[in-house]
Structure 1
Amino acid sequence: MSPVTRVLVTGAGGPAGVAVIRSLQERTDLLVFAADMDGWASGLYLVPAERRRLVEPGSGSAFVPALATMVADDRIDLVISTVDAELTSLAGRRAAIAPAVLAAPSQSTLEVCLDKLALAECCATAVTVPRTVLAGPDALAHDWEFPVFAKPRSGAGSRGVRLVPDRAALEALPVREGPDGLIVQDLLPGEEYSVDVLADAHSRVVAAVPRIRARVDSGVAIAGRTVHDAELEETATAVAETIGLVGVANVQLRRDRAGRAALLEVNPRFPGALPLTIAAGVDIPALVVDLFLGRPLPSRLPFRSLASVRYLEDVFIDPGEVLDSAHAGHQDEELAGSERT
């Protein structure tokens, strides 16, 4: 009888966390634990009560030590985090949860992905990238075709993104140093795509599944479909190889004024619309488990054209089962962005 691998999935309150938990529970060789900082997180209640856990906020100093204790107590073999803030905290401290393995890209890959200026500079020679410079003197030194976009250098989702209609508005942009600063980019007016990418231990891409968001409600994709498009797949593959991706990432592309696929950003985590990619034939969570357990992956995985619509599904539990958490209602703070991809 094969040994059972004990897997902890964090961020159980977001669509990505729920999708990962549902996928991994289909495997008989895995024992899935679910964790979140909010006791009302729906994904917690997809696993038996004895495998539900509360964690500290991923951006806080208590997160890693508390998680390390939890991992040791539960004899966890593999940790899968679906939250940007947690990944940032854990990336450089993997030894803290050893011998458990963190199923996430390297610290250097995460740092590039989470810095939009660094990402643009890294990928500029590999794929089409919109002109990207810091707000302030760097931006004012260029002649732009207005409107252009300004957005935070770091951060997830559409928070802080603004349209800059003319040069006066460009001159009025606040100038800040470091990761809180704004970047200015050429407007990409074409259709937007999300490409779910999986790369093996050598950063070779084994799957690249483009999706379009057909319907969006409050920033959340509620309908979409996979598309077969060689340019999108090749562009996302080139981005993943350039940043040295190992594991999963969501590469966001948009067509420029010439109709070419151009890089918007990379989310180095499981996307919120993951169920569509899984149903299309690429079970990314299961493949990520195999990858980080040292098992070989296929050389390339095909996918089928498929459309999806989302609906609200309730999980009913006894009120006494709800975990008492000091961090209820955190989704807007730490999970923002995961719903949008």
Structure 2
Amino acid sequence: MRRKISTVLIPGASAPAGINTIKSLRLSDFKGKILSTDSNSLSAGFYLSDYYEVIPEAEADDYLEVLLNVIDKYNIEILMPSSGYDIFPFSEFKSKLKKHGVIPVVSDRKILEICRDKIYTFNHLNKIFRLPFTTLNPDEIDTYPFIAKPRYGKGSRDVIQVNDEQEKRYICSKFPNMIYQEFLPGDEYTIDVMSDLEGNPIISVPRVRLQTKSGISTKGKIILDKELIEESMKIVKKLRIIGPSCIQMKKDKLGQFKLVEINPRLGGGTIFTTLAGANFPRMVVDLVEGKKIDPPKISEITVLRYFEEIVLDERNKINYSGKDLLASNPCRI
């Protein structure tokens, strides 16, 4: 029996993934209400939503209690996987959340841990898929350069290229909890994959990351590469990831794609895929409503991102946004 979704919760309203999830639903002409949450009271996504709530960080002791109160207050029906932090309590307390009438569209906790821990990712998938050699012991890598990065890091943040023995000694002494990985010199690709609620992949949309800042794509081009599409869908099917995920791959020195990272959630660049024709947040709503998803036609577009301003008055009420300013003062060439 189909249900009609009227209210969704989008966590991480201060980060690109949350903001782009809101924007994607707006672009889809979603008729329901959007509640956004974040621990930061000055989150841009708050002012793009119908409602917002400041809640504790996902690791806080009272996080679940506050979340359940918010769910009941607004009659939330879907928890969107738009925050790399909130997806863990969403998964851990999935049964309790469902008793409050809400569907957390997120994978099982075991799958989340495989994706978060890069050593676990390597050990779990290396015999099935091509991955860069990854180790906790830098002495096991005998060629330079190689990569040092956080074992539990997100995106491309805090990734360090190690070029010689002196740099290796410095990195090892200065930065704990790092992993060491084969250097991949080729272009970096992100592949957004959408799966159904049983973990069966529906569509895969690859893009080349033309420019990144703080681990987030700022320029990208959709490239419908058959190998990337097929390989990413195999990875997602193997792990049985539920809903959206974003996978990062790079080419090695021989030009072969290797899996670098898996994020079992909506990514900071998922808006690229929305603009290319596959609106993943809308698909999440459609899946929960019981609709059949037919893979849409994807356009090989290039997307350039830029900052947009929201101006608040002295009471933190929205005054105007960058869009309002442009609308009232259009530039004509």
1:309 has 2:310 as partner: no
Match of 1:125 among 124, 127, 131: 127
* Conservation of the 8 A alpha-carbon contact between 1:103 and 1:289: no
* Conservation of the 8 A alpha-carbon contact between 2:216 and 2:269: no
* Conservation of the 8 A alpha-carbon contact between 2:187 and 2:209: no
Q: Which moved more, 1:76-85 or 1:218-227?
A: 218-227
1:272 has 2:268 as partner: yes
Q: Which moved more, 1:74-83 or 1:218-227?
A: 218-227
Q: Which amino acid letter does the alignment assign opposite residue 206 of structure 1? A: I
Question: Residues 160 and 289 of structure 1: is their aligned pair in 2 closer, same or farther, counting only changes over 3 Å?
Answer: same
Q: CA RMSD in A?
A: 2.3
Q: Tell me the CA shift for residue 307 of structure 1.
A: 0.8
Question: Residues 143 and 216 of structure 1: is their aligned pair in 2 closer, same or farther, counting only changes over 3 Å?
Answer: closer
Q: Tell me the CA shift for residue 206 of structure 1.
A: 1.3
Question: Residues 171 and 238 of structure 1: is their aligned pair in 2 closer, same or farther, counting only changes over 3 Å?
Answer: farther
Question: Residues 239 and 37 of structure 1: is their aligned pair in 2 closer, same or farther, counting only changes over 3 Å?
Answer: same
1:74 has 2:74 as partner: yes
Q: Which moved more, 1:282-291 or 1:195-204?
A: 195-204
Taking the aligned partners of 2:170 and 2:210, their CA distance within structure 1 comes to 35
Taking the aligned partners of 2:56 and 2:226, their CA distance within structure 1 comes to 42
* Conservation of the 8 A alpha-carbon contact between 2:4 and 2:289: no
1:116 counterpart residue number: 118
The percentage of aligned residue pairs carrying the same residue is: 26
Taking the aligned partners of 1:322 and 1:22, their CA distance within structure 2 comes to 20
1:107 counterpart residue number: 109
TM-score normalised by the chain length of structure 1 = 0.84
1:40 counterpart residue number: 42
Question: Residues 190 and 72 of structure 1: is their aligned pair in 2 closer, same or farther, counting only changes over 3 Å?
Answer: same
Q: Tell me the CA shift for residue 146 of structure 1.
A: 1.6
Taking the aligned partners of 2:47 and 2:40, their CA distance within structure 1 comes to 12
Structure 2 gaps, min length 5? 319-333
* Conservation of the 8 A alpha-carbon contact between 1:105 and 1:248: no
Question: Residues 108 and 74 of structure 1: is their aligned pair in 2 closer, same or farther, counting only changes over 3 Å?
Answer: same
Taking the aligned partners of 1:310 and 1:320, their CA distance within structure 2 comes to 30
* Conservation of the 8 A alpha-carbon contact between 2:30 and 2:282: no
**Equivalent residues in 2 for 1:247-266, closer than 5 Å:** 247-266=243-262
* Conservation of the 8 A alpha-carbon contact between 1:68 and 1:96: no
Q: Which moved more, 1:250-259 or 1:20-29?
A: 20-29
Higher relative contact order (CA 8 A, sep 6+): 1
Taking the aligned partners of 2:13 and 2:71, their CA distance within structure 1 comes to 16
Q: Which amino acid letter does the alignment assign opposite residue 25 of structure 2? A: L
TM-score normalised by the chain length of structure 2 = 0.86
1:334 counterpart residue number: none
Q: Tell me the CA shift for residue 317 of structure 1.
A: 4.2
1:22 has 2:17 as partner: no
Q: Tell me the CA shift for residue 281 of structure 1.
A: 0.7
1:336 counterpart residue number: none
Taking the aligned partners of 2:144 and 2:30, their CA distance within structure 1 comes to 55
**Equivalent residues in 2 for 1:1-341, closer than 5 Å:** 3-25=4-26, 26-48=28-50, 51-98=51-98, 99-135=101-137, 139-140=138-139, 142=140, 144-167=142-165, 169-170=167-168, 174=172, 181-298=177-294, 300-322=295-317
Q: How many residues align structurally?
A: 312
Q: Helix, strand or coil for the counterpart of 2:236?
A: helix
Q: Helix, strand or coil for the counterpart of 2:310?
A: coil
Q: Tell me the CA shift for residue 225 of structure 1.
A: 1.1
Taking the aligned partners of 1:46 and 1:239, their CA distance within structure 2 comes to 34
Taking the aligned partners of 1:23 and 1:30, their CA distance within structure 2 comes to 13
Q: Which amino acid letter does the alignment assign opposite residue 259 of structure 1? A: G
Question: Residues 72 and 265 of structure 1: is their aligned pair in 2 closer, same or farther, counting only changes over 3 Å?
Answer: same
Q: Which amino acid letter does the alignment assign opposite residue 16 of structure 2? A: P
Q: Tell me the CA shift for residue 18 of structure 1.
A: 1.4
Q: Which amino acid letter does the alignment assign opposite residue 224 of structure 1? A: G
Q: Tell me the CA shift for residue 143 of structure 1.
A: 5.2
Taking the aligned partners of 1:203 and 1:219, their CA distance within structure 2 comes to 27
Question: Residues 193 and 46 of structure 1: is their aligned pair in 2 closer, same or farther, counting only changes over 3 Å?
Answer: same
Q: Which moved more, 1:195-204 or 1:152-161?
A: 152-161
* Conservation of the 8 A alpha-carbon contact between 1:126 and 1:239: no
Structure 1 gaps, min length 5? 324-341
Q: Tell me the CA shift for residue 250 of structure 1.
A: 0.8
Q: Helix, strand or coil for the counterpart of 1:96?
A: helix
